[in-house]
Amino acid sequence: MEKPITPIKTELASPPGGHYSQAIRHGDVVYVSGQLGFAPGSTDPVVGSVETQTRNCLANVAAILEAAGSGLDKTLKMTIYVSDVALWPEVNTVYADVMGNHRPARAIVPCNMLHHGFQVEIDAIAAI
């Protein structure tokens, strides 16, 4: 029996800014699209500190995971894109605070400045 592919959408996270879904559920796994540092549910591109951006990214990921029937505690893998590796200590401190004792697999990808001038973007894969 083929498992359905279901788009996930919540008003509690920033809406997609292009031709993609906030997340896709396939079976017991949810794939969350990259989330920028928008305040949850907002489309206003106010770029705050890298710490604020990281908290907002993770809050958006958390809201999308909850809408899919999952949560940060069920995250299997996260990818964090950061515009300058020198920002990593601040990003990692917020990440550790938000994630607590849960330590999913993770990749850090240094990149250029992101859309709207954001410095951090996070995507995730989680179990349901």
The 10s digit of each residue's pLDDT in 60-119 is 999 999 999 999 999 999 999 999 999 999 999 999 999 999 999 999 999 999 999 999
Please provide the distance, in angstroms rounded to a whole number, between the alpha carbons at the two ends of the chain.
19
- The CATH code that applies to domain 5-127 is 3.30.1330.40
Q: What angle do CA 65, 110, 94 make, to 5 degrees?
A: 50
Q: Tokens for 2, please give them.
A: 């083929």
Query: If pLDDT is split at 50, 70 and 90, which confidence band does 55 have?
Result: very high
Please, are residues 47 and 26 in contact by the beta-carbon 8 Å criterion? no
